Amino acid sequence: MKTAVVTGGCGFLGSYLCAKLLDSSFRVLCIDNLITGDLQNIERISKNKNFEFINHDVSKYLEVEGEVDWILHFASPASPADYLKYPIQTLKVGALGTHNTLGLAKAKKSKYMLASTSEVYGDPLVNPQAEDYWGNVNPIGPRGVYDEAKRFAESLTMAYNRTHKIDTRIVRIFNTYGPRMRHNDGRAVPNFIVQALKGEDLTIYGDGTQTRSFCYVDDLIEGITMLMAADYNQPVNIGNPRELKILDLANIILDITKSQSKIKLLELPQDDPKVRRPDISKAKSMLNWQAKVSAEEGLKRTVEYFKQKIF
């Protein structure tokens, strides 16, 4: 039986990844310090004899006994609310956490995946964003703690690939949503759903014309596992290329929830990207992957989840 280490395994994406690996006959070591992760996310798999949870901060020295076949480094605050609350921890897990997990991959001769992000493109000057675009990032702005942590993590991952011949993967994840997101996550989908279900104003930052591309979690996890199995070390975008204005997203959620909530416009935060849309040509040609779940269907499933959590 192969062994996989998943850092950030109690997080939104990490918990899905742990379950997917267990279903694929892996022994899974889930490592999380629970800053933004939640033990409830792994409750359904916690009794599996091939699953183990380790409460540890991977920014500190990391040691694992026995053989390790795969390491998937997903530990990091990921929403603006989280990384603005934990700026130092975000930088440390991107730098020290990536260094420690790559060191473990070197020691164990493991295949390694870094969970990167569309935020490496910053507030992009091109649309859609392909992997060869270097980005437009403010390194000293408030969002820089996340953007630059991930950009450094990518550089370090490629350095270990070139210098130590570690078999690495880099997935650039675009806005992903679905059940298990926290209601106070701070991102648009959970914010709008919770506000709509409670009959509160839906708060949009800016005029709502800024765009995002929303990928349902099941599609993303499938893309990640396909990339892990591929023989390719350069970054790959995984996301849904359908581009939605934030105002349109709010109206779709209002329609699904049949809410009478109004829309309230607030000031746009500093360095908030105006556009976000992945060029997934590489994922389509190399992995034969593309998103299957429509925004309307994915949002319906997510609304049902939040109904059960709130009421």
DSSP letters for 238-306: ES----EEHHHHHHHHHHHHT----EEEEPPPTT--S---B--HHIIIII-----S-HHHHHHHHHHHH
Q: Is the pLDDT of residue 57 over 90?
A: yes
Q: Is the model's pLDDT at 43 over the cut of 90? A: yes
Task: For residues 85 and 163, state if they share a domain.
Answer: yes
Q: Tell me, what's the pLDDT at 58?
A: 98
Cα gap 307→311, rounded to integer Å: 6
Determine, yes or no, domain membership for 288.
Answer: no
Nearest to 279 by CA among 168, 147, 118: 118
CATH number reported for the structural domain that contains residue 164 in this entry: 3.40.50.720
Q: Two tokens at 39?
A: 């033990």
Over residues 41-51, the mean pLDDT reads 98
71-96: pLDDT as tens digits: 999 999 999 999 999 999 999 999 99
What is the domain extent for residue 26? 2-176+215-238
pLDDT score at 144: 97
Decide: 64 and 108 in contact? Cβ < 8 Å. Answer: yes
Q: Are both 83 and 197 inside the same structural domain?
A: no
Query: Is 105 inside a domain boundary?
Result: yes
In a domain, 283, yes or no: no
- CATH number, domain of 267, equals 3.90.25.10
10 with 25, same domain?
yes
> Catalytic: 146?
yes
CA distance 49 to 78: 29
Mean pLDDT across the chain, nearest whole number?
97
Q: Are residues 257 and 141 in the same domain?
A: no
Whether 26 and 81 map to the same domain: the answer is: yes
Does a structural domain hold residue 256? yes
Q: Which of 16, 112, 121, 146 is catalytic?
A: 146
Which structure tokens are listed for 20? 């997917």
The tally of domains found in the chain comes to 2
Task: Give the pLDDT band (50/70/90) at residue 170.
Answer: very high
Categorize the per-residue pLDDT at 310 as very low, low, confident or very high, splitting at 50, 70 and 90.
confident
What is the pairing mode between strands 176-177 and 26-32? unpaired
Percentage of the chain with pLDDT > 90? 96
Residue 284 belongs to some domain of the structure: no
Q: How far apart are CA 138 and CA 278, in angstroms?
A: 20
How large is the average pLDDT for residues 126-134? Answer: 98
8 Å CB contact between 18 and 5: no
**Sole residue written with tokens 């992903």:** 176
Confidence of residue 17 (pLDDT cuts 50, 70, 90): very high
Burial class from Cβ neighbours inside 10 Å (0-12, 13-18, 19+) for residue 158 reads middle
Q: Are residues 252 and 119 in the same domain?
A: no
**What integer pLDDT is reported at residue 311 of this predicted model?**
74
- Do residue 60 and residue 142 come from a single domain? yes
- Residues 172-214 have pLDDT tens digits of 999 999 999 998 899 999 999 999 999 999 999 999 999 999 9
Q: Is 45 helix (H, G, I), strand (E, B) or coil?
A: coil
pLDDT digits (tens, 9 = 90+) for 244-294: 999 999 999 999 999 999 999 999 889 899 999 999 999 999 999 999 999
Same-domain status, 12 and 106: yes
Do 140 and 288 contact (CB within 8 A), yes or no? no
